Amino acid sequence: METCIAHVDANCFYASVEMAEHPELLGKAIAVCGDPANRHGIILTASYPAKRKGVKTAMAIWEAKALCPELILVRADLRLYMRYSRYTRDIFYRYTDRVEPFGLDEAWLGLRGCPACGGEPLRIVQAISDAFKRELGITCSIGLSFSKVYAKLGSDYKKPDAITVFDRANYRERVFPLPVSDLLYVGRATTRKLNEMGIYTIGDLATCDPARLQRKLGKMGLVVHRFANGYDDEHICQVGDRAPVKSVGNSWTTPRDLTEDTDAWVVFMLLCESVGARLRELGCKCRGIEISVRDASLSWFSRQTVLPMPTNITEELTAAACALFRCHYHWSKGLRSLGVRGFDLVWSDEPVQLRLDIDANRQEELMRLDGAIDDLRRRYGFSIVQRAKVWTRPELARLDARHDNVVHPHGYFGQMEGL
Ligand SMILES: [Mg+2]
């Protein structure tokens, strides 16, 4: 099979965009953060000169300043980064209509049979890398392979400004020695379980007996085994597709019965955090939300509503889920399980009618907050940051709804059902 799937990842995206917009910052140690005036605020992204001095994402500003006194702090401007994200997509569309965004600064491209650059995938990604530099003033790392998972590994393999090819001839030698935690969807919990089985590298996982993996990890064991071997669904959504998936949902059977509104709020908040994060990663918003409720006698119902505006903001999703819940449940019995699903998905950058009854500034703040939380969790794991109110119920707060439950778009794992 030919290597015709690319994964493009912009390097230090927020910091690079700031340098592209403000050339006087070029080559300097800069860091993007929420509020430069708050010494206890946190670094979101740092430029390479800052990284070389030891500045890292999630570090407190005072700590970063101690390591690198000349560090220039820049306030994050999510709208600007979203604009650049659209510019990157415009570049991709010159070469292919199969573009699947993954967050603001990453995307998979399907290059099979694309006429551009004589149909030669390596020349197409070279042209994309050049266009990033020439037109946007930022660099990217690109992985080119025969599967989405391997392409993503390729874009991580060498940074910045690099192209890595994993093909049929070299993947055993280059991919197999990588740590298993590098693999997409292998989070900390899964890594721990795999390590317990003596599996440390992607090669260990690829050559492990799938039945053994299934016993330890359930269906997810078979999925990661396929990923390790470079098999995935390969589908990359096309321009004009409404969205790559139809809905994103997650549910949780709680460690104790829920008995009051605050319990339910905490669980809805954790579930909406995972659903919101997944929507944001896909570059989508949902127009509707559905909750499902199961009580201690295992009787079950679901209710849905259309939202006033499409959203992927955690707080708005949680408010909508809780409002539906209060409207339809009145605590006749304790509850065993709750679920949330966002449906009727649209692209995040699809224009929407502004509404006077919705505070756009507040929305912007919430978007910035979600973006910062996503960034931190992507790099440092779920527990690096949590909402204080969730800890009013510590026994519930420990749920990492995203990774313990593996929230996935329904469309994607629907294709794995046959396993
Ligand atoms: Mg990046």
Q: What distance in angstroms lies between residue 45's CA and the mean position of ligand 1's atoms?
A: 10
Mean per-residue pLDDT, 394-399: 78
Question: Considering the domain boundaries, does residue 359 fall inside one?
Answer: yes
Q: What distance in angstroms lies between residue 281's CA and the mean position of ligand 1's atoms?
A: 12
Where in the sequence is the domain holding 354, given as residue range(s)? 247-414
Q: What integer pLDDT is reported at residue 414 of this predicted model?
A: 34
Q: What distance in angstroms lies between residue 13's CA and the mean position of ligand 1's atoms?
A: 5
Q: What distance in angstroms lies between residue 107's CA and the mean position of ligand 1's atoms?
A: 10
Same domain, 156 and 21: yes
49 pLDDT above the threshold of 90: yes
Q: What distance in angstroms lies between residue 141's CA and the mean position of ligand 1's atoms?
A: 8
The listed range with the strongest mean pLDDT (32-46, 203-217, 289-303) is: 203-217
3 pLDDT above the threshold of 70: yes
Q: Is 106 a catalytic residue?
A: yes
Torsion of CA 288, 303, 368, 266, to 10 degrees: -170
> What does the DSSP 8-state code read for residue 129?
H
Q: What distance in angstroms lies between residue 191's CA and the mean position of ligand 1's atoms?
A: 22
Question: Considering the domain boundaries, does residue 389 fall inside one?
Answer: yes
DSSP per-residue codes, 239-284: BTBS-S-SEEEEEEEEEEEE-SHHHHHHHHHHHHHHHHHHHHHHTE
Q: Which of 1-10, 189-198, 348-357, 406-415 has the lowest mean pLDDT?
A: 406-415
97-to-104, 109, 123, 232, 239 alpha-carbon distances in Å? 18, 8, 17, 20, 5
Q: Can you tell me the distance from the alpha carbon of 129 to that of 120, in angstroms, rounded to the nearest whole number? A: 15
238-to-92, 189, 235, 309 alpha-carbon distances in Å? 12, 33, 9, 25
Contact 179, 145 (CB under 8 A): no
Q: How many CB atoms lie within 10 A of CB 249?
A: 22
Buried b (16+ CB within 10 A) or exposed e, 382-402: beebbbeebeebeebbebbbb
Q: Which of 19-28, 152-161, 231-240, 357-366 has the lowest mean pLDDT?
A: 231-240
392-to-262, 264, 266, 382, 384 alpha-carbon distances in Å? 8, 12, 8, 18, 18
Q: What integer pLDDT is reported at residue 390 of this predicted model?
A: 85
21 pLDDT above the threshold of 90: yes
Q: What integer pLDDT is reported at residue 236 of this predicted model?
A: 66
The encoded tokens of residue 309 equal 């505006």
Q: Which of 151-165, 370-384, 392-406 has the lowest mean pLDDT?
A: 392-406
300-to-294, 295, 326, 336 alpha-carbon distances in Å? 4, 7, 16, 10
Question: Considering the domain boundaries, does residue 238 fall inside one?
Answer: no
The encoded tokens of residue 155 equal 């874009």
* From 18, 106, 281, 316, active-site residue: 106
Q: How many structural domains does the chain have?
A: 3
Mean per-residue pLDDT, 208-237: 86
Same domain, 131 and 200: no
Q: What integer pLDDT is reported at residue 396 of this predicted model?
A: 84
Q: At what angle do helices 188-196 and 210-217 cross, to 10 degrees?
A: 120
Same domain, 123 and 195: no
Q: What distance in angstroms lies between residue 244's CA and the mean position of ligand 1's atoms?
A: 21
Q: What integer pLDDT is reported at residue 100 of this predicted model?
A: 83
Q: What distance in angstroms lies between residue 23's CA and the mean position of ligand 1's atoms?
A: 20
Question: Considering the domain boundaries, does residue 240 fall inside one?
Answer: no
Residue where a domain terminates, one of 109, 138, 163: 163
Here the CATH number for the domain that contains residue 292 is 3.30.1490.100
358 pLDDT above the threshold of 80: no
- Listed in order, strand segments (DSSP E) in 176-246 are none
Residue where a domain terminates, one of 163, 191, 219: 163
111-159 confidence digits (pLDDT tens) = 987 777 777 999 999 999 999 999 999 999 999 999 999 999 999 999 9
Question: Considering the domain boundaries, does residue 237 fall inside one?
Answer: no
- Quick one: pLDDT band at residue 412, thresholds 50, 70, 90? very low
Same domain, 218 and 254: no
> 45 has which bridge partners?
32
Q: What distance in angstroms lies between residue 313's CA and the mean position of ligand 1's atoms?
A: 21
Q: What integer pLDDT is reported at residue 234 of this predicted model?
A: 61
Same domain, 119 and 257: no
The encoded tokens of residue 152 equal 């993503």
Here the CATH number for the domain that contains residue 213 is 1.10.150.20
Mean per-residue pLDDT, 324-332: 91
Question: Considering the domain boundaries, does residue 235 fall inside one?
Answer: no
Here the CATH number for the domain that contains residue 142 is 3.30.70.270
Residue where a domain terminates, one of 184, 199, 228: 228
- Quick one: pLDDT band at residue 182, thresholds 50, 70, 90? very high
Question: Considering the domain boundaries, does residue 236 fall inside one?
Answer: no
Contact 336, 257 (CB under 8 A): yes
416 pLDDT above the threshold of 90: no
Same domain, 150 and 283: no
* Residues counted in the chain: 419
Residues flanking ion ligand 1, Cβ below 5 Å: 9-10, 13, 105
Question: Considering the domain boundaries, does residue 78 fall inside one?
Answer: yes
Same domain, 182 and 155: no
Same domain, 287 and 339: yes
Q: What integer pLDDT is reported at residue 377 of this predicted model?
A: 83
Q: Which of 32-46, 82-96, 265-279 has the lowest mean pLDDT?
A: 32-46
62-75 confidence digits (pLDDT tens) = 999 999 999 999 99
Q: Which of 54-58, 308-312, 388-392 has the lowest mean pLDDT?
A: 388-392
Q: What integer pLDDT is reported at residue 245 of this predicted model?
A: 64
Same domain, 183 and 158: no
Same domain, 254 and 400: yes
254 pLDDT above the threshold of 90: no
Same domain, 32 and 9: yes
